[in-house]
């Protein structure tokens, strides 16, 4: 997994509507990247639903969030609609897991990403990274603590 202090690997992935979204689209803003194993699992549903609940608070702290999994854009669209998620879900579908590999979260054994969070600052540098134990939802408090630490360091 990439470490804080490293430049975040660039990416351009299709969102749930097939529109390309790039890391550079978030330049000048903080971005929370939430890698998750797959659409429609109960743990991923809980995780992304939780982040939707605190989205306004994240935005109030100057942060955007994007979810990334190896599922297709079509799957993401249906998953977003089911959960009522409004932040982008990006398809690391083909080549499968390329972005997850760049961030060090891809599992060759399982063919999907680990559940991992990265906080990327306004300049595109990873400032915080966290990999969750399997089947555990990384709480929003972890993200807010990382944002607070970033503020204190300035």
Residue ranges of domains in the chain? 12-153
Active site residues: 44
Could you tell me the pLDDT band of residue 134, with boundaries at 50, 70 and 90? confident
Q: What is the mean pLDDT of residues 15-27?
A: 97
Residues constituting the chain: 154
For the domain spanning 12-153, the CATH number is 3.40.30.10
Across 99-107, average pLDDT = 98
For residue 90, give the nearest of 29, 7, 10, 18 by alpha carbon. 18
For residues 64-90, average pLDDT = 98
Confidence of residue 98 (pLDDT cuts 50, 70, 90): very high
> In the predicted model, is pLDDT for residue 102 greater than 90?
yes
Question: How many other CB atoms are found less than 10 A from the CB of residue 101?
Answer: 15
**How far apart (Å, rounded) are the C-alpha atoms in residues 70 and 113?**
7
Computed over every residue of the chain, the mean pLDDT equals 96
Dihedral pair phi/psi, residue 32, rounded to 5°: -95, 120
pLDDT score, position 153: 81
- The confidence score (pLDDT) of residue 127 equals 97
């Amino acid at each position: 997994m990439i470490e804080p202090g490293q430049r975040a690997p660039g990416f351009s992935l299709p969102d749930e509507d097939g529109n390309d979204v790039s890391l550079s689209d978030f330049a000048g803003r903080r971005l929370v990247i939430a890698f998750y194993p797959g659409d429609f699992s109960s743990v991923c549903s809980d995780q992304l639903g939780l982040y939707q609940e605190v989205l306004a608070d994240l935005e109030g702290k100057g942060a955007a969030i994007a979810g990334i999994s190896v599922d297709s854009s079509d799957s993401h669209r249906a998953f977003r609609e089911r959960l009522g998620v409004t932040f982008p879900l990006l398809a690391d579908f083909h080549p499968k897991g390329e972005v997850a590999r760049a961030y060090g979260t891809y599992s060759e054994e399982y063919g999907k990403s680990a559940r991992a969070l990265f906080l990327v600052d306004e300049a595109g540098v990873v400032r915080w990274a966290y990999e969750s134990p399997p089947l555990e939802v990384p709480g929003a408090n972890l993200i807010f603590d990382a944002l607070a630490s970033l503020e204190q360091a300035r």
